[in-house]
Amino acid sequence: MKILFVENRYRTFFWDIVAERLEKKGHDISWIVQNHLFLPKNGKCFVIQYYKKRKEKDNNCLHNFDDLVLSDRAINYYCHKDTSHYGYYYNQIKEIINNIKPDVVFGEIAAFHEFLTIKICKENKILYLHPTTCRYPTGRFSFYKYNTLEPFGGSEEQMDDENVKQVINNITERKTIPDYMKKKRITISVRITRLKELLTLSRSYFSGEHFNAPHPLTKIKIERKRKRLISQWDKIAYGKSIGMETAFYILYPMQMQPEANLEVWGWKYRDQLATLKSLIESTDDDIHIVVKPNPKSKYELTDELLGYVQKHPRIIPVVHEKTMKEVFQMVDMVVTVTGTIAIECILADKPVVTLVNTLNNIMSNCLFLDDFSDIMKYINMVKEHRFPQSPEKEKIMFMNTICKSSYTGLPYKNVVNQDNIDHCILAFENVLSIFH
């Protein structure tokens, strides 16, 4: 089988381990490489030469890339202004794919060249799969189709009822947290590794890779701003608190940006200030919005957002150090775009509505909010104790649905123990077997 991987910086090194094993099994491995400093050792590499501005022939492409701009973190967060490279890379990637004619493509959904690859795969009816954590149960991942949250394949594994009940209890009691939320111990070795990574990214920028990362000085600038905004947020939050017993409290957990959660799956709501304003404008005066920042706040905090949060009397910001466990008990309802909190609410029977329709919405106690104008209807359902709850049997079925469509393992560069690698390779082999 012809398999194409798309280079994604350090993720490439983990996938290269997988590629080595798949190649030994007889598969034909190829790579699209955009960043020249991240070359895999196995398979055939198609390295795209860096785009140079003002070469008219490089930009001879009639495609519209407006949708790509919405998800391009370099444009939206790293101060890049120019998109003329899209046409060049589209043509280069299309030529490579037409040459290889892969049966399946594996890649991330973070960088512009990955979105272009997805676009070309759709045009040519080639399956593009994005391996990433399925959040719960922990220690598992799914292969999602293209840039969606629709899983492809799955282990078909099921847990027995008692095991599922224990998993549910651990989640609702906050004894278990998603793999991506687990804090790494910051050691000298970790700091040195991170410094080396930053130096490598700087080298790649100065060698011509200007399209997925900021200029090093820009990076320093936006990181300083990030730290300032986190500090200011907490100062504002210390001055506000939940206090009115007669008020109705909605929790809006902010999602970190840039991440696929909002940049890709929830792109309509990537402007979180606009989402907050819509919640305020669509709710009555006794409705208060509790805004919990992501513990790892990145670039979603802005001066405009903080100004709005500080001035509006119905918005209650939460300090970064306060845990979700503390906040969860204090609110009546949760509104989220694509957050993991939706699964936690389902299992704890906390009323939750989502702004994107996903697998979570198969559950009767997780409703999809298609339009902000409908939110008062759901609030009144909670007030009148009419918001649906899910029986234990339905929750067990839900967890096993996720389990069946996922695999044991974590396909990440920082989890390279042999046991995890073996599990991930078995998952890749299982997915590939579906094509036969």
HSE, CB side, 13 Å, CA atoms: give it for residue 301: 28
Residues of the chain with pLDDT under 50: 56
Distance, in Å, from the CA atom of 286 to the CA atom of 330, rounded to the nearest integer, reads: 15
Task: Write the pLDDT tens digit of every residue in 117-146.
Answer: 999 999 999 999 999 999 889 999 999 999
Is the backbone peptide bond immediately before 351 cis, with ω within 30 degrees of 0?
no
Written as six digits, the tokens of 259 are: 């991440």
User: pTM here?
Assistant: 0.92
pLDDT at 196: 87
CATH class of the region 2-159+406-433: alpha beta
For the chain, give every domain's residue range: 2-159+406-433, 214-398
Residue 167, CA distances (Å) to 136, 138, 163, 360 in order: 9, 9, 6, 17
Distance, in Å, from the CA atom of 71 to the CA atom of 253, rounded to the nearest integer, reads: 21
Nearest to 351 by CA among 325, 328, 317, 319: 328
- Residue 364: CB partners within 8 Å, gap ≥ 6? 388, 389, 390, 394
DSSP 3-state assignment of 106?
Answer: strand
- Topology match between the domains 2-159+406-433 and 214-398: yes
pLDDT at 59: 54
Which CATH topology does 214-398 take? Rossmann fold (3.40.50)
pLDDT at 186: 74
Distance, in Å, from the CA atom of 33 to the CA atom of 6, rounded to the nearest integer, reads: 6
Nearest to 294 by CA among 265, 334, 325, 323: 323
pLDDT at 56: 47
